[in-house]
């Protein structure tokens, strides 16, 4: 069936065009017919649709379709890594590849910030992810002065103060010289580096600043004995149409590709927001930690009843904050002047949950937060080595928040469709695994495609994609389940679970075998699970 | 008759006693006893369908046509086996190529300058005999190292399914890449007479076919005419053992239903030593290089797919490859 090309741009018939972006033609027609019946659609609109259908029909029987082996929708870390992997591998480098992205990629490629300013969207890359990025030749294209490795994690329970300390040297004394737990960097540093590597490799038809108007199925082309009725056709703003042997949905949590494939993503909202910010710390490093932490950098995470708060090191005396909390608290934090915001973050790593809860309540709105904080700190005893350095500054305009969700697609593959990264799964950020899961997907999908090409398979068929699904679905499910359960476990303020979980943390901390297993999982990322 | 489990056991016993007759038939290039009345095809070119083609088999596979390309349908086991066929062909060919063209690529090495990968070796011409819906033929045609694939099957409906399915892939739509011909091996030489491709091929494949033909020796001698000097004949089939009866007939067809009922006639299965016997008997006449002959057993594990298992050629499914002297 031919596709209906939705009216472009601002249209007086917005009632029709606004809903038609990603629906298949049958659904659009259905919608229109129903709306027409109900009298919602004007006559000229219906006529235009009919004319477009006629046009499309004649088009598909005359012009030769523009056929790609892989069309990737989404130029984020997952999509760009996949295309880089395919281009870097001689087995798959002959594939015809297109990239579709809504943003201006040349701006991202030339992205640059002064050394004392950082983007507020950062990710923790596991050594496994970094090894893969290096293997496909992308890692050295990242600005290495904006990458921060860390070798120690401090994780503790905000209610009972039970602690688990992770450092690679003490937990795996036999491991090699590399004791890195993870590498922190800005997402833009990663995407910019991947774009530079892709430019070096060449051979990708890039459609950026492009909106996916709709995705339909192809048509029959009797004159060239072609039957593309099972092939996805991506309609871009501006009229360009791409036929895809394999359509990769790297298009995020609200993936239009996933909707086109009719794949459901199930899950729930945590009723929590992640508050992020770029922060400046009091001093650069702790000499006491240098014996087992070469960079002197430590990642801190405290589980509060409202959600975990984490401070992750960036180069210099900078750090990035990820604070999962209630939407109300998030709104309050975002509304505070810098001084008060800083006091609240320092408090989050130091004060008791009761104090914190008071600081967030309207009852405390009369006094500036920094006064409340310093007064309460006089009555709170903490070991300065067990909490992060005092925060002294917050970068202008770096405070933002986003809702936290748990979503898992029912499947990652359909005929001529594969989903990767957030399009396939959205995870609680507490373990910093989201981006690494995506990298694990890419590694598996690139390997699957390479095997299929070597064995003459049609890379778009579910037969060829099966091994990607079986490799990744269970692995992602385990990671997602663990992170979800951790979040739920720590949202209790009292009751038997609180005692059990601190007992658990203390036991884990004292039991080297279990701890090193957890460490390996954290740093091994996708390759282990 | 085949589907009747009650009658299978007595048939099986009878067959064992007839086995020596089969062996004699295979290596003497004479028709199987059951089809003794039919003369070798080369001297009876007027007949529409020739001796190697069994009418029951044709109608059985015609009936399967609609599900041939369903990844979860009756041919799933064949789909899963297909990559192993390429691996086996590569293994065979790599033994005869001193400077291997199948270089294992490093993922981080630079791609070649052009869009298309450059292969120094001349591209291969394949003949796939008994191509069915085209599972192997399509995959061979997609390989960058392939010049062309000629695929034949005696079942007309199956050839239609194959052509229809190939039209779903623009890569296969190039008329020189993949062509399907509804013919028999006996008639192939005359069909290809005027073909610019010639009638000899670098790789002649015969996958899961020989156990379905009536006169395997006669069939193989026709095939050998289409193998180039230095080219390979690669086939896969099932050994005729108690185990293969149990797994392919009883378990696969009757109990698990992995393979459609009536697909296999255990009486027609051929053991690897019988094929070895055939190739050594006709080594000089047909030009086989016996030192190249290679056998690889494979085992299907439900849920995991096909696995190579050394020695399993004596038990069930196996590949065999043999090269013609250059």
pLDDT band at A461 (very low <50, low <70, confident <90, very high): very high
Q: What is the pLDDT of residue B26?
A: 45
**The most confident of A427-431, A440-444, B276-280, by mean pLDDT:** A440-444
Mean local confidence (pLDDT), B309-324: 83
Q: How far apart, in whole angstroms, are the C-alpha atoms of residue A217 and residue A228?
A: 8
**Contact: A87, B142; criterion CB under 8 Å:** no
- CB-nearest to B108 from A96, A136, A224 is A136
Alpha-carbon distances, residue A499 vs A157, A304, A348, A503, B156 (angstroms):
11, 15, 21, 6, 74
Most confident listed range (A55-69, B41-55, B145-159): B145-159
The interface pTM score, or ipTM, of the predicted complex is 0.76
Which of chain B's residues have a Cβ under 8 Å away from the Cβ of A87? 111
Best of A67, A98, A456, A466 to disrupt the B interface (most B CBs within 10 Å) is A456
Answer yes or no: are the C-beta atoms of A214 and A150 closer than 8 Å: no
Architecture of the domain made up of B41-98+121-324: 3-Layer(aba) Sandwich (3.40)
What pLDDT score does A360 carry? 84
Compute CA distances A273 → A124, A309, A403, A405, B20, whole Å. Answer: 19, 11, 4, 9, 79
Q: What is the pLDDT of residue A291?
A: 43
- Residues A258-289: tens digit of each pLDDT: 999 999 998 888 888 999 999 999 875 544 44
By Cβ distance, the residue of B107, B167, B170 closest to A136 is B107
Partner-chain contact A89 B79, CB within 8 Å: no
| Mean pLDDT, residues A40-68 taken together | 53
Which residue in this structure is represented by tokens 């062996």? Answer: B23
User: How far away is chain B from the Cα of A14, in angstroms, using its nearest Cα?
Assistant: 37
- Comparing A400 with B317, the larger pLDDT belongs to A400
Domain ranges of chain B: 41-98+121-324
> What per-residue confidence (pLDDT) applies to B39?
34
**Residue-level pLDDT at A165:** 66
In chain A, which residue's Cα lies nearest the Cα of B84?
Answer: A455
Q: Kindly tell me if the per-residue pLDDT of A336 is higher than 50.
A: yes
Residue B212, marked binder: yes
| 3-state SS class at B280 | helix
Does position A141 have pLDDT exceeding 90, yes or no?
yes
Partner-chain contact A90 B115, CB within 8 Å: no
Confidence of residue B2 (pLDDT cuts 50, 70, 90): very low
Helix (H, G, I), strand (E, B) or coil at A215: strand
Q: Is the pLDDT of residue B214 over 70?
A: yes
Pick the most confident of A335-339, A423-427, B136-140: B136-140
pLDDT of residue A496: 55
Measured in angstroms, the CA of A454 and the nearest CA of chain B are apart by 7
Judged by DSSP in three states, A46 sits in helix
Span of A370-379, B213-222, B256-265 with lowest mean pLDDT: B256-265
> Tell me, what's the pLDDT at B196?
73
Tokens 């045609």 identify what position?
B141
- For the cut 80, the answer to whether the pLDDT of residue A131 exceeds it is yes
Helix or strand run (H / E) with residue A327: helix A327-335
- pLDDT: is A402 or B175 the higher one? A402
Predicted pLDDT of residue A36: 38
Q: What is the pLDDT of residue A499?
A: 56
DSSP state of A152: E
pLDDT at site A430: 67
What pLDDT, on the 0 to 100 scale, is given for residue B269? 74
How far apart CA A449 and CA A274 sit, in angstroms, is: 35
Q: Is B208 flagged in the annotation as binding? A: yes
B106 known member of a binding site: no
Phi, psi of A407 (to 5 degrees): -140, 140
The answer to whether residue A91 neighbours chain B at the CB level (below 8 Å) is: yes
First CA to last CA distance, chain A: 42
B60 labeled binding residue: no
Whether residue B246 has pLDDT greater than 60: yes
What value does the mean pLDDT of chain B take? 75
Do the chains contact at A89 and B111, CB–CB below 8 Å?
Answer: yes
**CB distance A454–B82 less than 8 Å?**
no
> Would you give the DSSP letter of residue B226?
T
Q: pLDDT value at position A23?
A: 39
**Interior CA angle at A377 toward A271 and A345, to 5°?**
35
Nearest to B170 among A136, A226, A451 (CB): A226
pLDDT score of A45: 45
DSSP 8-state assignment for residue A322: E
Are the Cβ atoms of A226 and B164 closer than 8 angstroms?
no
pLDDT tens, position by position, B32-61: 443 333 333 333 333 344 556 777 777 777
Cα B280 to the center of its chain, rounded Å: 20
What number is the average pLDDT over the span B193-214?
A: 86
Q: Does position A528 have pLDDT exceeding 70, yes or no?
A: no
Is A457's CB within 8 Å of B82's CB? yes
Residue B208 has pLDDT above 80, yes or no: yes
The pLDDT assigned to A209 comes to 94
Of A85, A88, A461, the CB nearest to B71: A461
CB A284 within 8 A of CB A313: no
| Least confident segment among A277-281, A405-409, B302-306 | B302-306
Question: How much is the pLDDT for A128?
Answer: 92
> What rounded mean pLDDT belongs to chain A?
80
Q: How far is CA B97 from CA A91, B91, B233, in A?
A: 20, 10, 16
CB burial of residue A43 (10 Å; 0-12, 13-18, 19+): exposed
Which of B87, B108, B173 lies at the smallest CB-CB distance from A226? Answer: B173
**Which of A33-42, A247-256, A271-280, A391-400 is the least confident region?**
A33-42
B153 annotated ligand binder: yes
Distance from the B83 Cα atom to the nearest Cα atom in chain A, whole angstroms: 5
How confident is the model over A462-467, as a mean pLDDT? 94
User: Is residue B65 predicted with pLDDT exceeding 60?
Assistant: yes
Please report where in the chains the tokens 């009797």 appear, as a residue.
A222
Question: Can you tell me the distance from the alpha carbon of B88 to that of B82, in angstroms, rounded to the nearest whole number?
Answer: 10
Confidence of residue B111 (pLDDT cuts 50, 70, 90): very low
Residue B85 among known ligand-binding residues: yes
**pLDDT band of B124, cuts 50, 70, 90:** very high
Q: According to DSSP H, which parts of A164-261 are helical?
A: 168-171, 187-201, 256-261
Q: What's residue B139's pLDDT?
A: 97
Pairwise CA distance, residues B204 & B153, whole Å? 14
Nearest C-alpha neighbor of A251 from the set A223, A302, A219, A215: A215
User: Is it the case that residue B147 has pLDDT exceeding 80?
Assistant: yes
A366 pLDDT tier (thresholds 50, 70, 90): confident
| Structure confidence at residue B51 (pLDDT) | 55
Q: Is the per-residue pLDDT at B181 higher than 60?
A: yes
The answer to whether A463 faces chain B, any CB pair under 8 Å, is yes
Q: Picking from A46-50, A72-76, B272-276, which range would have the lowest pLDDT averaged per residue?
A: A46-50
- A483-505 pLDDT tens trace: 666 666 665 655 555 555 555 55
Q: By the 8 A CB rule, do A220 and A229 touch? A: yes
Question: To the nearest whole angstrom, how far is the Cα of A408 from the nearest Cα of chain B?
Answer: 24
A9 burial level (CB within 10 Å; 0-12, 13-18, 19+):
exposed
């Amino acid at each position: 069936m031919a596709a209906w090309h939705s009216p472009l741009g601002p249209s007086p018939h917005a009632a029709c065009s606004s809903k038609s972006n990603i629906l298949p033609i049958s659904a659009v027609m259905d919608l229109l017919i129903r709306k027409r019946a109900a009298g919602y659609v004007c006559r000229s609109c219906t006529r235009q649709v009919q004319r477009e259908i006629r046009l499309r029909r004649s088009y598909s029987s005359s012009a030769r379709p523009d056929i790609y082996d892989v069309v990737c929708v989404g130029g984020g870390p997952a999509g760009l890594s996949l295309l880089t992997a395919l281009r870097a591998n001689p087995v798959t480098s002959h594939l015809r590849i297109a990239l579709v992205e809504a943003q201006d990629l040349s701006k991202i490629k030339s992205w640059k910030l002064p050394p004392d300013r950082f983007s507020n969207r950062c990710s923790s890359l596991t050594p496994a992810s970094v090894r893969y990025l290096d293997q496909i030749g992308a890692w050295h294209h990242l600005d290495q002065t904006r990458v921060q490795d860390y070798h120690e994690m401090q994780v503790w329970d905000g209610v009972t103060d039970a602690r688990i300390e992770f450092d690679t040297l003490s937990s795996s004394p036999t491991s090699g010289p590399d004791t890195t737990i993870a590498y922190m960097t800005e997402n833009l540093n990663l995407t910019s580096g991947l774009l530079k590597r892709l430019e070096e490799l060449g051979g990708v038809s890039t459609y950026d600043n492009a909106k996916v108007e709709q995705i339909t199925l192809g048509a029959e082309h009797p004159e060239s004995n072609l039957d593309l009725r099972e092939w996805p056709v991506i309609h871009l703003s501006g009229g360009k149409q791409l036929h895809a042997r394999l359509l990769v949905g790297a298009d995020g949590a609200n993936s239009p590709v996933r909707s086109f494939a009719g794949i459901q993503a199930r899950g729930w909202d945590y009723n929590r927001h992640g508050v992020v910010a770029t922060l400046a710390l009091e001093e650069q490093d702790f000499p006491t930690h240098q014996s087992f932490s070469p960079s002197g950098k430590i990642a801190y995470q405290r589980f509060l009843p409202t959600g975990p708060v984490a401070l992750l090191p960036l180069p210099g005396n900078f750090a990035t904050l990820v604070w999962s909390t209630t939407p109300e608290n998030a709104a309050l934090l975002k509304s505070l002047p810098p001084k008060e915001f800083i006091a609240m973050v320092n408090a989050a790593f130091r004060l008791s949950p009761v104090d914190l809860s008071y600081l967030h309540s309207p009852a405390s709105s009369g006094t500036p937060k920094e006064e409340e904080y310093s007064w309460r700190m006089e009555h709170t005893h903490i070991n300065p080595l067990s909490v992060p350095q005092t925060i002294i500054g917050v970068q202008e305009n770096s405070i933002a928040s986003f809702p936290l969700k748990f979503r898992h697609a029912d499947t990652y593959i359909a005929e001529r469709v594969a989903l990767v990264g957030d399009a396939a799964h959205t995870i609680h950020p507490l373990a910093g695994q989201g981006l690494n899961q995506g990298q694990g997907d890419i590694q598996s999908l690139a390997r699957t495609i390479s095997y299929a090409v070597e064995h003459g398979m049609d890379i778009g068929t579910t037969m060829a994609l099966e091994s990607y699904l079986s490799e990744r679905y269970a692995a992602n499910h385990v990671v997602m389940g663990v992170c979800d359960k951790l979040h739920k476990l720590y949202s209790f303020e009292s009751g038997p679970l609180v005692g059990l979980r601190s007992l658990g943390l203390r036991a884990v901390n004292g039991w080297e075998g279990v701890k090193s297993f957890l460490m390996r999982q954290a740093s091994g990322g996708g390759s282990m699970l | 008759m085949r589907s009747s489990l009650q009658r299978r056991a007595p048939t099986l016993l009878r067959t064992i006693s007839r086995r020596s007759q089969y062996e004699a038939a295979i290596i003497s290039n004479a028709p199987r006893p059951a089809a003794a009345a039919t003369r070798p095809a080369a001297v009876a070119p007027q007949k529409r369908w020739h001796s190697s083609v069994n009418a029951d088999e044709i109608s059985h596979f015609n009936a399967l046509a609609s599900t041939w390309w369903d990844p979860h349908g009756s041919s799933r086991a064949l789909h899963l086996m297909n990559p192993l066929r390429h691996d086996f062909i590569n293994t065979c060919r790599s033994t005869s190529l001193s400077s291997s063209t199948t270089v294992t690529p490093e993922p981080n090495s630079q791609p070649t300058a052009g869009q298309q990968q450059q292969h120094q070796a001349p591209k291969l011409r394949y003949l796939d005999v008994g191509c069915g819906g085209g599972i192997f033929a399509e995959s061979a045609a997609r390989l960058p190292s392939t010049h062309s694939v000629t695929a034949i099957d005696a079942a007309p409906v199956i050839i239609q399914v194959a052509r229809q399915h190939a039209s779903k892939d623009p890569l296969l739509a190039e008329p020189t890449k993949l062509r399907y011909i509804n013919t028999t091996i006996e008639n192939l030489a005359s069909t290809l007479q005027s073909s610019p491709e010639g009638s000899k091929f670098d790789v002649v494949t015969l996958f899961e076919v020989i156990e379905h033909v009536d006169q395997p020796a006669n069939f193989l001698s026709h095939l050998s005419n289409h193998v180039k000097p230095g080219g390979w004949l690669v086939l896969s089939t099932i050994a005729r053992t108690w185990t293969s009866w149990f797994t392919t007939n009883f378990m696969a067809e009757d109990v698990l239903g992995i393979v459609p009922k009536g697909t296999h006639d255990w009486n027609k299965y051929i053991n690897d030593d019988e094929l070895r016997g055939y190739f050594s008997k006709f080594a000089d006449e047909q030009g086989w290089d016996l030192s190249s002959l290679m056998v690889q057993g494979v085992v299907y594990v439900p849920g995991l797919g096909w696995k190579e298992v050394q020695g399993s050629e004596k038990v069930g499914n196996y590949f065999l490859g043999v090269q013609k002297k250059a």
